[in-house]
């Protein structure tokens, strides 16, 4: 089982849209996938039409009073399950703080699901916190959406440096440009230069399109309701790069 996480300290950069579309594409390829919506805002849960509610709240899950298995919901897509968000997730840091080895807590909670899923995608809230540290420790691959600006790239470097300081397991990082506006000269320039120079930045880039915003109206991944569009094509390309980077075996092999 591989753990992928969409992570960025900033909000509104396309983490949830990426988690939802990559989750959909992976399941369509035959992988058994669980998406855990860790953001108390519950955007991924909303997009999959699942109520953002977990019995006992986030604390029951973190403390192990309720197995993750019990809270999982099937989505409308075969092979794609969701662990919904809950508004109590805003207090996950407190729950983690009182757990043993909080940084490794998510990894140990996910371990029993190893036989059931090929991939777990963690959709993280925008923050730098104990929860995000636990996510970084659990993940095999971090998918980091970047707005094509110099500051974003600087943040990526900070993240890379932070992860390099981990003892033992260190997640691989695949950043990608998101909310790309080719009409902006800076966006175009950064997109042209950086992926060629840095192997940690994907060649796929997700455009800023109203179609992606339409996801919240259609309540479905763009790759599902508009598969022939540029946005869906870029998500497919990003999924291809992520799959290679995470060295995921062919699910049908």
Partner 1 sequence: MLDGGAGAGSHVLQTLASAGDDHLGWENGGTARTIRRTWLDTFDWRLYRAGLTLQQVLRGGQAELVLASRDGDLVATERLPAGPRPKWPAMAAQLPAGTLRDAVARAAGIRALLPVARAVSSVGELQALNEDAKTIARLAVDRMAVTYPARASVPARLTLLPVRGYHGQAGKVGRAIGSLPGVSAGADSALEAALAAAGARPGECAGKPSPVQLAPDQPAAQAMAAILASLLAAIDANLPGTIRDIDTEFLHDLRVAVRWTRSALKLCGDALPKGLAAEFRPEFSWLGDLTTPTRDLDVFLLGYPRMATSLVGGSEADLVPFHDFLADSRAAAYRRLVAGLRSARSGRLRGTWRAALGDVRPAGRLTVAGLADIKIAAAHHKALRTGREITPASPAESLHDLRKRCKELRYLVEMFGSLHDPERLSHAVRELKALQDCLGEFQDADVQRAEIRGIAEQMMDGNRVPAQTLLAMGEIVAGLAVRQARARAQFAGRFADFAGPASRTRLAALARTAGPARSSRA
Please report, as ranges, the residues that interact with partner 1 according to CB under 8 A.
Answer: 48-51, 71-74, 76, 81, 219, 252
DSSP letter, residue 60: H
Centroid of chain to Cα 27? 14
Q: Residue 74 CB, nearest distance to partner 1 (Å)? A: 4
Nearer to partner 1, 218 or 247 (CB): 218
Q: Residue 38 CB, nearest distance to partner 1 (Å)? A: 18
Residue 152, CA atoms < 13 Å, CB-side half-sphere: 23
| Residue 165 CB contacts under 8 Å (≥ 6 apart), including other chains | none
Nearer to partner 1, 11 or 74 (CB): 74
Kindly provide the b/e burial profile for residues 138-151, where b requires at least 16 CB atoms within 10 angstroms of the residue's own CB. bbbbbbbbbbbeee
Structure tokens at 187: 């966006």
Q: Are 152 and 146 in contact (CB under 8 A)?
A: yes
141, β-bridge pairs = 4, 172
């Amino acid at each position: 089982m591989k753990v992928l996480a969409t992570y960025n300290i900033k909000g509104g950069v396309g983490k949830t849209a990426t988690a939802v579309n990559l989750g959909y594409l992976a399941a369509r390829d035959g992988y058994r996938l669980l998406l855990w919506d860790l953001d108390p805002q519950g955007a991924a849960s909303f997009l999959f039409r699942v109520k953002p509610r977990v019995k006992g709240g986030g604390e029951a899950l973190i403390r192990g009073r309720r197995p993750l298995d019990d809270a999982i919901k099937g989505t409308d897509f075969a092979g794609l399950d969701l662990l919904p968000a809950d508004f109590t997730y805003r207090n996950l840091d407190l729950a983690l703080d009182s757990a043993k080895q909080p940084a490794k807590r998510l990894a140990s909670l996910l371990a029993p699901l190893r036989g059931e899923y090929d991939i777990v995608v963690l959709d993280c809230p925008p923050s730098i916190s104990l929860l995000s540290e636990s996510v970084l420790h659990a993940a095999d691959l971090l998918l980091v959406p970047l707005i094509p600006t110099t500051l974003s790239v600087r943040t990526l470097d900070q993240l890379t440096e932070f992860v390099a300081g981990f003892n033992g397991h260190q997640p691989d990082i695949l950043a990608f440009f998101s909310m790309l506006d080719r009409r902006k000269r800076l966006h175009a320039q950064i997109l042209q230069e950086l992926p060629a120079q840095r192997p940690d930045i994907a060649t796929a880039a997700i455009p800023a399109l109203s179609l992606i915003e339409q996801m919240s109206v259609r309540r479905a991944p763009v790759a599902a309701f508009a598969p022939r569009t540029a946005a869906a094509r870029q998500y497919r390309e990003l999924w291809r790069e992520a799959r290679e980077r995470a060295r995921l075996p062919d699910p049908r092999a």
